[in-house]
Amino acid sequence: MATREQLRALQTRQPFRPFRITLGSGRTFVIRHPELAACSTNGREMVVYDDQGMHLLEMLMVEILEDADEPSRSESSPPEGNGA
C-alpha cells in the first residue's frame, strides 16, 4: 500500500518528474503534473485525473508509485516458473 507521504514526496520534488501509479489490478495512471493527483487528509483515498476524467482510488489498492520514465516494475518482473 502506498502512503500519503510517498505521494506527496513525488508531487513536491524539484524539478517535478511524471510518475506512475499502479494498482493491484494492474491498471496504471501516469501523473504528468503534480495537481493531477490528490490524497485525502486521512490518507485512505486518492483522486487521479487523466484524459478519461476523475478516478477515486483507495490507497489500499495502490501497489506501486514510481517514476514514469522507468519501466514498470510489473512489466520488468521475471516470468514465473522454472523455465522448463
Give kind and range of the element (H or E) at residue 67.
strand 62-67
Torsion of CA 69, 13, 22, 64, to 10 degrees: 110
State the Cα–Cα distance between residues 33 and 19, nearest whole angstrom: 9
**Runs of H (alpha helix) within 20-77:** 73-76
- Each residue's pLDDT, cut to its tens digit, for the chain (84 residues) gives 899 999 999 999 999 999 999 999 999 999 999 999 999 999 999 999 999 999 999 999 999 999 998 777 655 444 444 554
The cell for 24 is: 493491484
CB 67 within 8 A of CB 19: yes
Tell me the CATH architecture of domain 4-69.
Roll (2.30)
Q: What is the pLDDT of residue 38?
A: 97
- For the chain, give every domain's residue range: 4-69
